[in-house]
Each structure stands twice: as structure tokens, then as C-alpha cells.
Amino acid sequence: MTFAGKTVAITGAASGIGFALARKFSFERARVALIDYNEEALHDAEMRLKREGFDPTPFLCDITDDEALRGTINGILDTFGRIDLFVNNAGIAANHRFENISSEDFDRTFNVNVRATIQACRFVLPLMKSQGFGTILNMASVAGHLAPPYMSAYVAAKHAIVGFSRSLRAELEMDDSTITIAISSPGFVDTGIISKGQEMGFPEWLSFMLETPESVAERTVKALKRGECEIHPTRNGKLMMTAHKFFPKATIKSSRVLLTRSLKDLLLNRYTIS
């Protein structure tokens, strides 16, 4: 598969993995539609890509608003005439003890990560079927395959994405459809979702383990070009998945290391959440 001349739409495209994907697809000579709810960040992303000689098209949209999302997808279709790849990348996290996560934060996590993805698929699938081709890429996470503690909202959302995507893929395959449903499941990546140095963030002393949005974008695009549907674009994610396969309890228990502020804290069994 080549992306030259293809139309690629990406949600959450103003920062993190979304922006890295937009940049990578631009290098692949795709026509890129940037979708984001943050007007200032969206404009900044557009300008950054234009300074590199690319010509992205921005679409300001709150993807949790069904009519706004439908209108944006129709706007992309009106602008480019087709959508070859739609990337459901936008995501947020609400990480803490379950009882300390408000219902509002839990709902917001599901609305952004899950419901918006489902609705985008609902709106995009008919037009891809009418085209006779298309790929939908849903960004999941290793947290969609494992279940570490203190991430119940995010884990539940990403498990939902993995399950939904696989079920939809099976349904389309039963119909001999030409539409592809792919999943990319990164591990720990240095993005806004990872708040380094904070109580429920990623420990500064372990930051060497974080991978970059650029490396995730690079490996994800390469995997799509090879026709892969289940993509694991980070080394730390693959390591966790392998370890969990053979030592599931030990792997989950080891996640407590993320609650330490230093190696000394780890050796003294001191954690930020008791």
C-alpha cells in the first residue's frame, strides 16, 4: 500500500501521536486532514507542517458532538472527494484510584476514547463502502490488552476499542468487504497523556523507557503499508505483552514501579499511592 495522493484524516492531530502521524503521512505525500478541538493547537500544527513544505487542511471539531463530527467528515469528503484512511487517534486518560475518579471524568474518558471512535466508524463506513475501498485505524494501547492498576477508566476504554475493532473487522470480513479495520496499540509514549514526575504520571527516573510519538508514527505507517491489522509500534509495549503472556501476575504487579519517584523509593518499597 502506498499513501501518495491518498486522503488521510486524523483526529487529535494537533499534538502527540496524532501530529506525528500527520507529519509522517505528509512525508508519504498523502493529503492530510487535521481534526482537533483545540483551535490554537490546530493552527499551530498546521503552521508547523506548512513550514516544512506540506499543505494540510485543518478541521476544528469536538468529536464528542455527533453533528459536528458528521459535519467534519462530510466536509473532508467535500474537500477531497474521498477518505482513504480515517485515523481515530484522539484520546484522554483519567488515572487514579477508581473511587477517586469522578463519574464525569470516567464518562469523558469514554466519550472521547470510545464513543467518538464508534460514531466516526458509523459515519465513515457508508462512504467507504460507496467508494469500494478504505481503511479505519483505531488507536488503542497496550492498556487495551493488559489491565494495570490505577488506570481503570483508560483500561476500560482501550479494551473497548480493541474489542469493538476486532468485532467490526470480523463482521466486515464475513461480508467479504474491501474495508480494513486496523488497531495500533502503543505502550509508554512521551505524550501529553503521560505526565512525567506527577503522582499518577510517569516517573522521571524511568523516562528513558518512553518512546517518541515519531517512532510510533513511523512503525504504524510501515505496518499499514504492509497490510497489518494488529500493530504494536513500541518496544516497551511488546516487552510488556510478552512478559504478561508468560508471567501475568508478576507483570501486573511490576507496574507498581510507576508509583515510585526514584530507584531508592523502589528499593525501600515506597510508593506514591499506598
* pLDDT given at position 270: 72
Q: Model's pTM, two decimal places?
A: 0.93
Among 60, 151, 51, residue whose Cα is nearest residue 106: 151
Residue 259 counted as domain residue: no
* pLDDT given at position 58: 98
CATH code for position 202: 3.40.50.720
* Strand bridging mode 230-231 / 179-184: parallel
* pLDDT given at position 98: 94
The catalytic residues are 154
Low-confidence stretches of the chain (pLDDT < 70) are 194-201, 259, 266, 271, 273-274
CA atoms within 13 A on the CB side of 133: 7
Three-state DSSP class for residue 245? helix
Residue 16 counted as domain residue: yes
Residue 2 counted as domain residue: no
Residue 218 counted as domain residue: yes
* pLDDT given at position 201: 62
Buried b / exposed e over 7-19, threshold 16 CB at 10 Å, is: bbbbbbbbbbbbb
First CA to last CA across the chain, in angstroms?
49
Residue 11 counted as domain residue: yes
Among 197, 17, 10, 200, residue whose Cα is nearest residue 105: 200
Strand partners, 181: 136
Residue 258 counted as domain residue: no
Domain count across the chain: 1
The range of the structural domain enclosing residue 196 comes to: 7-237
* pLDDT given at position 196: 46
Distance between CA 31 and CA 50 in Å, rounded? 13
Residue 256 counted as domain residue: no
* pLDDT given at position 213: 97
Distance between CA 29 and CA 8 in Å, rounded? 10
Residue 251 counted as domain residue: no
Residue with cell 512503525: 219
Distance between CA 214 and CA 189 in Å, rounded? 10
